[in-house]
A and B are shown apart, each in its own frame.
Chain A
């Protein structure tokens, strides 16, 4: 069939292939509805690439539970001889993806990789796509993925990946449009069909159009499905039976398998001749998946069951290369063969777990569970644990929670305390992630009771470690340390408890930091980090960095924490640990806001919030933005602080509510609403005191004091807050300065009765751009009898000291770099005369005569010539 109206997308693909070879790899998504011609476009492209370009094709299976990394297995052989074994032997993710990236990056060949039907891709393939997509520019390959955009909803995992990659300049999208009326008319030439009607009914969908024409009916079928069936109805009985068998087997259909499954004469040749099936010489495929699905749906149910059973038997007997458990499980379920499902689905699930395809693993275990009604209790319990764990990992809590509960009950009735405790502990961790802290606490406590009388071992270490983690999150730090240390003692020397031990070091270290034992806590967390790196526990490494950075931040040790941000961010980015990366970034934004680097902090928080992120990262980014907007007197502070509180409320933990309530108290104070400010502080101060949190207790006590309310007598309180609460303004300011917190330092000075101190606060707020606090300082100065309240450096002077225009600043920057007027003109694409004019204006405004004096004068006027406050587009 001729390819109509696809010249432009084809040209784009060729252009991007050349770019990929010469400038750096590209990833293209070809999008459109089923039948729009995505695969045809790929075929036409593959047939027309220049000689010497290697083209590899990987296809995703239309099975309900596809083979993990199926498309990568398809391309493995052509890609690199060492790559295939890595995939099929379930090597660690890093190795597989690293090897894939290296293969794509080999400079000695021009490579095009086509990945068809990504809407069916398994999780591991999508993970690989995201990994490679983010780094595609470092390769020389063109990667083309196709998908049905109308079947990929907002929540679809592929949509998330596409959205994530879309902002990269190396990633493009090519939407395919339906055929025009003119093309439909051209295709229908020589038939009796009305071209306008054909176009209207088919919506210009090329597959639909050609099906109708091939079926050549008197009347145009109402749906593409009807068109396919009308066409099949014109085939012989044998051909239709062959077609039904091929539909059940699925693509690509092995001819030998087909022959073994069809009862009666095989009529593959007729199907090929009529164009319903196609062949690449090795196997058969339907001309389009829509056609296969239509035939499959129309196949009599009993016939379909029988076909699946025969396919299953043939696959079991044969030595076909693609005898994967996933495929066997698919046909076993299709045949309704309980024993076969229970044989193959759990095995397929375990293979998917090993490949990191958790969505597929969850589906395989769930499939087995559907057939596990009368399974012996222990076997059912084991299956439930797999179902629960995998559904938990893919956030299908509606399945995971009941599965954990049933598993727990089964182990209880079996009297297997060890397994019951293990299930309860894992269940508790999942409940924490869902913000159901109370239920988590109950489950974890029950697990602890169960292991109490047990001898040391993995189960005991895990239960203790789980409880230590919950106590740490609740900031019951002394308990967390005790339990965590016990868990470490129990688990050491038990390989099965390695994860629990690493996690326990993390909890103990965090709690020590939160109790003020910074060095001890850091050492414990570094132990957790080192062990996690040794064992290759990626998530625990990411977790250790996150906690080191955020716990030090919670103790206002921002500068000390910086190295953990940098190392952690590098680690998390390289491994696509997005949750860890986002949490580090959210805390980075908070750190920057507290350190007076408002512009950077605001930009980082805003960019985090502009994209989907984890709940806790979003919460902390909202906190950063809420603090910043309130301090600047900018609008939308409450939008951020209200959403932050809404997310934090169900956690009922000090870790979230402490800082968010404090920020809200601050915002009310800045707005002059002291009652509301006190109400926010009161809401959480008892919790802060109960958990002995020195920083939250300090800040919340301060807001109560500002509102004239008695603050509960509480220890411990962090040094700067204690000084401030004791009225020792100057010392408090020094302490805040030592922590690199300029706004907090100025706020301490504002509490003084000494006009000189308040004036300094006023000047500091001015420099920060803290308008509301600056206004409070001005009012305070008038109260103290200061007649002439400084008006502060004027806003325009701050932004642009010499009153230079944007263009003049640009000219100044180049001037200071030693460029001549002609060079500046070239750089800015202006005429030399215009530049002459700008240069004399710049010199005039700076009050100098010679251009050699411009840089010095600019520096004197407070203009940063290097970075150019007006770094314009150049």
Chain B
């Protein structure tokens, strides 16, 4: 499944309640995503809490937008991405 980076801007900042309530919110989001075949991998939250960058696995951008609508989340921009890390080209130990 393709992977996407979803940029969300929250001009008034976004609130994630602590404890049980926060858990409920996250569970609600995951539940809605699940119906649409969308998986929220994780997010980076800007320190001022006015923007997030979320990594998603989804069948396509339409599914991400639909999930966002249902969850009441903004979508500023969607980019298709793939993983690259510093050890990508490191030869594996058993081949040496």
Identify the A interface with B (CB < 8 A): 599, 602-603, 605-606, 610, 625, 628-629, 632-636, 771, 794-800, 803-807, 809-810, 830, 834, 837-838, 869-873
Contact = CB atoms under 8 A, between A and B. Distances in A.
How many residues of B sit at the interface, in one of the four size bands?
A: 35 or more
17 contacts: A599-B62, A599-B65, A602-B66, A603-B62, A605-B62, A606-B62, A634-B78, A635-B79, A635-B80, A636-B61, A796-B10, A803-B10, A805-B72, A806-B29, A807-B25, A809-B72, A872-B31
Nearest to B37: A610
A166 to B, nearest CB: 15
B78 A635 contact: yes
Q: Which of A636, A799, A805, A869 has the most CB of B within 10 A?
A: A805
Contact of B12 (A610, A803, A838): A803
- Chain A contact residues: helix, strand, loop or mixed: helix
B2 A870 contact: no
Contact of A807 (B28, B59, B62, B73): B28
Among B11, B62, B78, residue most surrounded by chain A Cβ atoms (within 10 Å): B62
B28 A873 contact: yes
Contacts of A871: 70
Contacts of A870: 70-72
B68 interface: yes
B4 A635 contact: yes
A800 B73 contact: yes
Given A635-B78, A796-B10, A873 B31 contact: yes
A298 B35 CA distance: 54
Contacts of A628: 62
Contacts of B75: 795, 799
A632 B32 CA distance: 22
Nearest to A834: B21
A805 B28 CA distance: 11
Interface string B51-86: 000000001111101101111111111111000000
A872 B28 contact: yes
B8 to A, nearest CB: 8
B65 to A, nearest CB: 7
Given A603-B62, A636-B60, A794-B9, A807 B77 contact: no
Nearest to B78: A634
A635 B59 CA distance: 12
Contact of A806 (B4, B28, B35): B28
Nearest to B50: A796
Most chain B C-beta atoms within 10 Å of own C-beta, residue among A629, A636, A797, A804? A636
B59 A873 contact: no
Nearest to A604: B62
Interface in B16-32: 16-17, 20-21, 24-25, 28-29, 31-32
Given A625-B62, A794-B9, A807 B74 contact: no
A837 to B, nearest CB: 7
A249 B52 CA distance: 71
Contact of A796 (B60, B74, B77): B74
Contact of B62 (A602, A798, A805): A602
A869 B61 contact: no
B48 interface: no
Contact of B61 (A629, A805, A809, A810): A629
A602 B73 contact: no
Contact of B70 (A605, A794, A872): A872
Contacts of A629: 61
A130 B59 CA distance: 27
Interface of B: 2, 4, 8-17, 20-21, 24-25, 28-29, 31-32, 35, 59-63, 65-66, 68-80
Contacts of A806: 25, 28-29, 71-73
Nearest to A605: B62
Contacts of B35: 873
A148 to B, nearest CB: 30
Contacts of A635: 4, 61, 78-80
Contacts of B68: 799
Looking at chain B's contact residues, is the secondary structure mostly helix, strand, loop, or mixed?
Answer: mixed
A632 B54 CA distance: 18
Contacts of A636: 2, 60-61, 80
Contacts of A606: 59-60, 62-63
Contacts of A798: 74
A837 B60 contact: no
Contacts of A873: 28, 31-32, 35
Nearest to B30: A873
B76 to A, nearest CB: 5
Nearest to A804: B72
A628 B68 CA distance: 17
Nearest to A868: B72
Contacts of B2: 636
A66 to B, nearest CB: 38
B52 to A, nearest CB: 11
Nearest to B35: A873
Contact of A771 (B11, B69, B70, B77): B77
Interface centre among A771, A797, A798, A873 (most CB of B within 10 A): A873
A799 B60 CA distance: 20
Given A599-B66, A799-B75, A873-B31, 17 more contacts: A599-B62, A606-B59, A606-B60, A610-B59, A629-B61, A634-B62, A635-B78, A636-B2, A798-B74, A799-B74, A800-B74, A803-B10, A830-B24, A834-B21, A870-B70, A870-B72, A872-B71
Contacts of B74: 795-796, 798-800
Contacts of B21: 807, 834, 837-838
B15 A803 contact: yes
Contacts of B70: 869-872
A869 B62 contact: no
A36 to B, nearest CB: 32
B62 A799 contact: no
A809 to B, nearest CB: 5
Contact of B9 (A603, A634, A796): A796
Contacts of A872: 28, 31-32, 70-71
A637 to B, nearest CB: 9
B5 to A, nearest CB: 9
Contacts of B76: 795
A466 to B, nearest CB: 40
Contacts of B8: 795-796
Given A634-B61, A636-B80, A799 B32 contact: no
Contacts of A625: 60, 62
Contact of A599 (B14, B29, B69, B80): B69
Contacts of A830: 24
A609 to B, nearest CB: 8
Nearest to B60: A606
A799 B73 contact: yes
B15 to A, nearest CB: 6
A500 to B, nearest CB: 42
Nearest to B81: A635
Contacts of A804: 72
Contacts of B10: 796, 803
Rank and list the top 9 A-B pairs by shortest CB-CB distance, nearest first: A870-B72, A602-B62, A635-B80, A634-B61, A799-B74, A795-B74, A796-B74, A873-B31, A794-B11
Contact of B14 (A610, A803, A809, A810): A803
A534 B65 CA distance: 45
A510 B13 CA distance: 55
A841 to B, nearest CB: 8
A805 B15 contact: yes
Contacts of A634: 61-62, 65, 78
B34 to A, nearest CB: 9
Contacts of A838: 21
Contact of A632 (B12, B59, B61, B73): B61
Nearest to B64: A634
A599 B66 CA distance: 7
B15 A799 contact: no
B60 A805 contact: no
A135 B66 CA distance: 29
